[in-house]
Amino acid sequence: MKRTPRLALTVLVAAVMSACTSMKSHDELSNKVQDARHSGGIPAALQQLDASVSSDADRAELLYNMERGELLRLNKQLDESTKTFLKADAKVQEWEDTAKTNPSKLLGMLGASLISERLKAYEGRDYEKVWLTTRLAMNRLGANDLENARVDIKRTHEREAVIAEFRSKETDAAENEAKSKGANVQGKDINGYPVETLNDPEVLKLKNGYQNALSHYLAGFVYEVTNEPGLAAPGYRKAIELKPDSGVLEEGLRGLDARTSFTQKRKQRMTDTLFVIEAGSAPARKSRSFTLPVWISGKLRTVSISYPVIEPSHEPLLNNLVVNGQSFKLESVVDLNVMARRELKEDMPGMIFRNVTRAIAKGVVQDQLEKKAGLLGAVIGSVASAVTEQADDRIWRTLPGRVYVARGYLPEGEHRLTVAGRDLGAVKVGGQYAMVPVRLYDDSVIQGPVSSFGTLAAAPVADTKPANEAVKPADKAGEKAADKPGKKSKKAKAAEAAKPVNG
């Protein structure tokens, strides 16, 4: 037991020496990247992000490649974006393999948090892991690569299962670690922490902090395009479960049989178009300090402990998409701010246990420094503790804030889009199915590549008569009937057919 303070002191001093280089703030970097984008566009943002890494090890990091992949996607470098996302995905697959085969190895890394949460290797937020395969699937769809999009969709489902199993083990391990250090923690509220940000109705309404409705609706859409309605139905059903009372999502399931019937495919003359509209930016995690009383050597000490805080988003909701003057219902299916707060809420019990363990360890060091060096030692210990005590602010910041979907039938050709009175430009659709991705990024509108799958049925060929053949009375009667008032022209019929899937 006598070695513990000496060992803790050694570790603490080493941590202080490396604090300036090892505990970088991702929030500060994200702000610099955003400033660069405002002044010089996406290329300048990419340049700023690339300037933040200086070694091959840094360039292989998960968060760097997630941020870079998203910026490349926004810069319309789809192939490069996919390659970069695959580098990030390789890191997540390493985590998955370890979580499945040797979870104790990951759980053993909890000790890294005895100095600071920021010193732990970044393994990605749970919802980010799911978003990564979803982003890959969207990139593949943009390249009309249905085969690999289908693979990414399948991996998304498998990834969710691994996350669910591992997180329950992690919280138990953190609690046991805290208790072994003499902590008596019940997961109660942290004095002064804004718990209302984690307990508001939007956060509590989510089923968990890693599954999202878009990923599963996209799964249904991909399986529908590949003519696998038996697999599409569970995707649509899960999306509804994750985001209830959504007319667009419900119609995805309700109209599936009709849309995939042989008769519909044979007669389909309009493109079934899915719009994915993304707006805003993902939230920031801010480090905030709180005090925690701990008993050390029979004496009550106050130790500074930091926790991340995510402020709620106040961006107005979008609810209407206009295509060539025709209104389509636009519904929010994912709110990344709410998801980030739900993920933080789920991680908070384990974080409390880890922080109490860390507070006790730092309290012991301060106690020993005070005994050996008096008041000066106590001051040094307090300063060292404050320098290393920074909450983990790493989070995938280039993702959108909210994702909306709308779906309807459109005639092949070019169409102009408007949302909330804002002109989004023109897009060209065609085929049996199309997906149109658009990102509203502050003052910019960024259109992604439009996916197109399948071929519409050819229009019936009109009967023709030889030029010298006399017109029969029945034909004349038909001509007169067609000229009567109330008869709809082909143009009018096409306009009437161009209605949203959800009505």
Q: Per-residue DSSP letters for 140-157?
A: HHHTT-HHHHHHHHHHHH
Count the domains in the chain.
1
What six digits make up the tokens of 232? 């599409």
- In a domain, residue 237? The reply is yes
Q: What is the pLDDT of residue 355?
A: 79
- In a domain, residue 485? The reply is no
The boundaries of the domain holding residue 116 are: 3-269+330-399
How many CA within 13 A on the CB side of residue 475? 7
- In a domain, residue 281? The reply is no
- 402-410 and 444-447: which strand pairing? unpaired
- In a domain, residue 455? The reply is no
Residues 6+ apart with CB under 8 A from 467: none
- In a domain, residue 415? The reply is no
What six digits make up the tokens of 71? 């910026």
**Mean pLDDT (10-residue bins), the chain, 503 residues:** 48 50 82 95 97 94 98 97 98 93 68 65 94 98 96 95 85 65 55 90 95 97 96 97 95 95 88 97 92 73 84 92 94 97 90 78 66 56 61 95 97 95 95 97 91 87 49 42 47 49 49
CA angle 311, 315, 316 (to 5 degrees): 145
- In a domain, residue 50? The reply is yes
Question: How far apart are the C-alpha atoms of 41 and 33, rounded to whole Å?
Answer: 10
CATH number of the CATH domain containing 44:
1.25.40
- In a domain, residue 378? The reply is yes
- In a domain, residue 325? The reply is no
Question: How far apart are the C-alpha atoms of 337 and 351, rounded to whole Å?
Answer: 20
What six digits make up the tokens of 320? 């209407």
Q: What is the pLDDT of residue 370?
A: 60
Q: What is the pLDDT of residue 108?
A: 54
pTM (two decimals): 0.83
